[in-house]
Amino acid sequence: MLDQKSKLILILSAIFIVLGILFIVESQKVGKLRLIFCDIGQGDGMLIVTPKGKQVVVDSGPGSKIVDCLGVNMPFWDRTIEMMILTHAQQDHMEGQVEIFNRYSVERVVWSGVENTTALFSAWQKLLSAEKSAVHLGRTGDKLKLDKVVFDVLWPSQEKSNLWKIAPPTDINDSSVVVRLEYNPDTGSEEAICAYLTGDLSKEILEGLINKPCQILKISHHGSKTGTNQEILEKVNPEIAIIQVGSKNRFGHPRKEVLDLLISKGIRILRNDTSGTIEIVSDGKSYTIK
């Protein structure tokens, strides 16, 4: 049998070897854009990893399952989220962000500025100010860049936001920050991969925001019939529709009307309730689904 000292040395060297291997494995993943739609139950929660390995979180679902998703999809030494977007202040989009604030350092937070009266929102706000992240209120026309990934903010408009300061929106879903993200490695070429991230915005507003087609559309409002119509699908002309939804949810999401519409257009549907976590990897020209 080994004596204790050599056993300790053996264990330590095994640990260092594994750490080295993990480091190499992780560094292989760099260079591509990864869009990860986390399986977080009934809600929206997504992680975007830029080609240089920076992380952007968009919403984070109810509960704390998002941190499991981040734990699995981020290198173990990386404890920083470079940007976190909150589309709107509802539990099924924001609860996980509280846990993210607790566990990660968040450099920049983008949200609508439209407050909610819930205890959860107060907890979120408290942690946001303690975190000292740079806060940016997303407004139509803003262009946020991270590596070569561009986030175009399409909604809310400055005008509406000013109005909401006087009279809060009747439906907080309509204050959702909507972005189109685009990754184009060679700035000259026309080819690019892009995706619409729509929060819970209602279809009447959404249809007016879309200015060019994209391969990927995150279906608004978990596939509720309030979030999708023919015109949106025609304007976006997506190849893939992502529905972030929990199985057996009490809202009956996604609605049959929406699914039928997507099927009739021949759009491929990916749902978290049936596929678990969905990952799309792209080099800016083509993409693969994991």
Partner 1 sequence: MSKIYYLIFGVFLVLAVVVRVWLDKPTTLPKNQPLKFEATIKREPRNYDFSQVIYVADSRVYVDLYPRYRVGDRLKIAGTFDEQGRMFDPEVEKIGERSSLSRWRSDLRDKISNNVGALLPAREATLVVGTVLGVDTISQEFRQQLIKTGTIHVVVVSGQNLMIVAGIFLALTKYLGRRQSMILAILVVFAYAFLTGFEPPVVRASIMVLVSTLAIFLGREASVAWSLLIAALLIVLVWPQALFEVSFQLTFAATLGIVTLGSALQNWLKKLPFLGANAAIATSAYIFTAPVILFYFSRVSPIAPVANILVAEAVFPIMVLGFLIALASLIFMPLAQVLAYLAYVPALYFSEVVRLLAKFV
Distance of closest approach, residue 189 Cβ to partner 1, in angstroms: 37
Nearer to partner 1, 78 or 283 (CB): 78
Distance of closest approach, residue 258 Cβ to partner 1, in angstroms: 25
| 63 binding partner 1? (CB under 8 A) | yes
| 168 binding partner 1? (CB under 8 A) | no
Coil vs helix vs strand at 280 = strand
Nearer to partner 1, 62 or 254 (CB): 62
Helix, strand, coil % over all residues of the chain, rounded to 5:
35, 25, 40
Coil vs helix vs strand at 184 = coil
Instruction: Select the residue interacting with partner 1 from 32, 53, 54, 91 (CB under 8 A).
Output: 91
| 11 binding partner 1? (CB under 8 A) | yes
Nearer to partner 1, 124 or 287 (CB): 124
Please provide the DSSP assignment of 203-248 as one string: HHHHHHH--S--SEEE-GGGG-TTS--HHHHHHH--SEEEE---TT
CA distance 55 to 63: 20
- 281: β partners: 34, 288
Distance of closest approach, residue 10 Cβ to partner 1, in angstroms: 10
Region of 44-52, 101-109, 203-211, 222-230 interacting with partner 1 (CB under 8 A): 101-109
Residue 170 φ then ψ, to 5°: -65, -35
> Using CB under 8 A as the criterion, what x/- string covers residues 122-141 for binding partner 1?
xx------------------
Terminal Cα distance for the chain, rounded: 46
Residue 80 φ then ψ, to 5°: -120, 130
51 close to 185: Cβ distance less than 8 angstroms = yes
| 106 binding partner 1? (CB under 8 A) | no
Instruction: Select the residue interacting with partner 1 from 72, 134, 135, 263 (CB under 8 A).
Output: 72
For binding to partner 1 (CB under 8 A), which residues are involved? 1, 11-12, 14-15, 18-19, 22, 41, 62-65, 67-68, 70-72, 74, 76-77, 79, 91, 95, 98, 102-104, 119-120, 122-123
